[in-house]
């Protein structure tokens, strides 16, 4: 294995270990436990004197391949694969905090992430301040003596706001706090939070890493010291481990990640331009367009647009529903990152639990629609939009 391989090569070969059979494809090790040749071998394994697995809740061979491949892609020293993206987020945040600590989080978060910091953490005496993360001054103002974690997502769901990760990391380092970045929307290909100064990166592998809508998964990546000190024991004893079957599915998904994300991004970019020209669309937000409100930060920290497009229809909810219902190729679903193009109306689905005020703060109106571009032929997607837009009243 070579660390100098470029991403596309690492994603096919990185982290692979082979059994005595020399199988081409990665093997699935569906086993709970492992046997030892002797009592002394078991003792040595438990003492950490020899390498090897102990119990699948702690780690197992297929999961290990997935973790190693993700480390190569992310430039991280170590990782833990979790059963879902939310298991990754919850573990990454709670494993390093205790009662009396304080989190500063950007308020534009995936709904369940927001629940973890806003509702769950306070039950255990961990305070949280939610801010508009676009302005670095807000991060600085929210700092308290007990601030230990900065948490953010960039670009955000669904309005694709971006946050200056290097700027937030600089502030965190001044007070010894850790920056946790949920990098799902950027994908590991287009944004490298660790290189930008963040300390911990989390993914929902359910999205682009699987990319074919099959299984849930997540991963937490960081340096070895942080994982050893914070996540290692938490992970072993609270049990968020990924199923080896899902680790295998995700390993196969990850092989084609660059091909899929490239096609999805090209499709998203074309659709964004097409929608921007429609007189039924009030606004298009796409990180790959020059008119994105934060194009300067995107140029600094991202190397690609996004597979997602957010746009606002002039006709509000009625127009949004009519558009979604008229689409034939593009399916209505709250999921994202899939090979299939998916469209969702955040105000009535993913963000329905927020108050009207909170939705307005995030820029979500009744006419806001989020598209996750798939890998279909872009001509078919444009034709689908063209047909559907013609049917709605402006």
Ligand X SMILES: *Cc1c(COP(=O)(O)O)cnc(C)c1O
Cα 168 to the chain's mean position, in Å? 18
Options 184, 320, 364, 389; binder of ligand X; rule CB under 6 A? 184
Closer of 138 and 335 to ligand X (Cβ): 335
In terms of CB distance, is 112 or 238 closer to ligand X? 112
CA diameter of the chain = 76
Q: Binding residue for ligand X (CB under 6 A) from 102, 207, 351, 370?
A: 207
| Chain residues 141-160 in contact with ligand X, contact rule CB under 6 A | 153, 157
DSSP 2-46: -TTS-HHHHHHHTT----TT--SSPPP---SB---SSHHHHHHHH
C-alpha to C-alpha distances, 211 to 217, 250, 251, nearest whole angstrom: 11, 9, 11
Does residue number 218 form part of the binding site for ligand X (CB under 6 A)? yes
Q: How far apart are CB 116 and ligand X at their closest, in Å?
A: 10
Question: Which of these segments, 64-72, 78-86, 252-260, 352-360, binds ligand X (CB under 6 A)?
Answer: 78-86
Of 2-10, 92-100, 109-117, 302-310, the window that binds ligand X (rule: CB under 6 A) is 109-117
- Tell me the closest approach of the beta carbon of residue 192 to ligand X, in angstroms: 17
Q: Which of 60, 84, 350, 372 binds ligand X (CB under 6 A)?
A: 84
Looking only at the bridges linking them, the beta strands covering 147-153 and 200-204 are unpaired
Residues 6+ apart with CB under 8 A from 252: 25, 26
Binding of ligand X by 182 (CB under 6 A): yes
Alpha-carbon distance values, 198 to 70, 73, 160, 181, 228 (Å)? 16, 16, 19, 7, 17
Among 15, 61, 85, 374, binds ligand X (CB under 6 A): 85
Query: In the complex, what is the shortest distance from the CB of residue 156 to ligand X, in angstroms, rounded to a whole number?
Result: 8
308 binds ligand X (CB under 6 A): no
Is 250 a residue that touches ligand X (CB under 6 A)? no
Nearer to ligand X, 85 or 167 (CB): 85
In the bound complex, which residue of the shown chain has the CB atom lying closest to ligand X?
Answer: 85
309 near ligand X, rule: CB under 6 A:
no
Contact 202, 113 (CB under 8 A): no
Does 161 interact with ligand X (rule: CB under 6 A)? no
State yes or no: residue 64 binds ligand X (CB under 6 A): no
Residue spans of alpha helices (H) in the chain: 7-13, 39-47, 61-74, 85-94, 111-115, 121-123, 136-142, 165-175, 187-190, 224-226, 232-238, 244-255, 257-276, 295-301, 316-326, 356-361, 378-391
Segment near ligand X (CB under 6 A), from 92-100, 164-172, 178-186, 364-372? Answer: 178-186
242: DSSP letter: P
Specify the DSSP class assigned to residue 55. B
Residue 9 to residues 12, 14, 73: CA-CA distances in angstroms?
Answer: 5, 7, 10
Q: How many residues bind ligand X (CB under 6 A)?
A: 17
Contact residue for ligand X among 63, 65, 93, 110 (CB under 6 A): 110
Binding status of residue 164 toward ligand X by CB under 6 A: no
Of 78 and 153, which CB lies nearer to ligand X in the complex structure?
Answer: 153
Q: Is 116 in the site for ligand X (CB under 6 A)?
A: no
C-beta neighbour count of 228 within 10 angstroms: 13
Q: Which residues of 57-69 are buried (b: 16+ CB within 10 A; e: fewer)?
A: eebbbbbbbbbbb
- What Cα–Cα distance (Å) separates residue 115 from each residue in 33, 97, 219? 35, 16, 19
Stretch that binds ligand X, among 45-53, 83-91, 143-151, 283-291 (CB under 6 A): 83-91
- Residue 370 contacts ligand X per CB under 6 A: no
Looking only at the bridges linking them, the beta strands covering 147-153 and 102-106 are parallel
Provide the binding-site residues for ligand X, judged by CB under 6 A.
Answer: 84-86, 89, 110, 112-113, 153, 157, 182, 184-185, 204, 206-207, 216, 218
């Amino acid at each position: 294995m070579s660390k100098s391989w470029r991403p596309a090569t690492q994603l096919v070969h990185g982290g692979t270990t082979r059994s005595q059979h020399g199988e081409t494809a990665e093997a699935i090790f569906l086993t709970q436990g492992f046997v030892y040749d002797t009592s002394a071998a078991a003792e040595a394994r438990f003492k950490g004197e020899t390498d090897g697995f102990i119990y699948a809740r702690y780690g197992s061979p297929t999961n290990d391949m997935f973790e190693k491949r993700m480390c190569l892609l992310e430039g991280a020293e170590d990782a833990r694969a979790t059963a879902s993206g939310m298991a990754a987020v919850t573990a990454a945040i709670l494993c390093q905090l205790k009662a009396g600590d304080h989190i500063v989080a950007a308020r534009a978060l995936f709904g369940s992430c927001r629940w973890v910091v806003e509702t769950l953490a306070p039950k255990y005496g961990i305070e949280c301040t939610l801010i508009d993360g676009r302005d670095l001054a807000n991060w600085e103002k929210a700092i308290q003596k007990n601030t230990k974690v900065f948490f953010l997502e960039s670009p955000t769901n669904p309005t694709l706001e971006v946050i200056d990760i290097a700027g937030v990391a600089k502030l965190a380092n001044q007070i010894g706090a850790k920056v946790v970045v949920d990098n799902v929307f950027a994908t590991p290909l287009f944004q490298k939070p660790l290189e930008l100064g963040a300390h911990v990166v989390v993914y929902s592998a359910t999205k682009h890493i699987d990319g074919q809508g099959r299984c849930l998964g997540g991963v937490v990546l960081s340096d070895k010291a942080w994982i050893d000190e914070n996540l290692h024991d938490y992970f072993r004893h609270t049990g968020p481990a990924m199923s080896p079957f899902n680790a295998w599915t995700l390993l196969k998904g990850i092989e084609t990640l660059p091909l899929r994300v490239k096609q999805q991004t090209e499709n998203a970019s074309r659709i964004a331009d097409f929608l921007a020209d429609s007189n039924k669309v009030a606004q298009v937000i796409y990180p790959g367009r020059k008119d994105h409100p934060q194009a300067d930060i995107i140029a600094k920290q991202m190397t690609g647009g996004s597979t997602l497009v957010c746009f606002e229809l002039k006709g509000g909810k009625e127009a949004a529903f009519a558009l979604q219902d008229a689409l034939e190729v593009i399916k209505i679903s709250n999921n994202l990152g899939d090979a299939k193009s998916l469209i969702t109306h955040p105000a009535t689905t993913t963000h329905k639990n927020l108050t009207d005020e909170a939705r307005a703060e995030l820029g979500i109106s009744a006419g806001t629609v989020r598209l996750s571009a798939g890998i279909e032929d872009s001509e078919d997607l444009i034709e689908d939009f063209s047909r559907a837009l013609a049917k709605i009243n402006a």
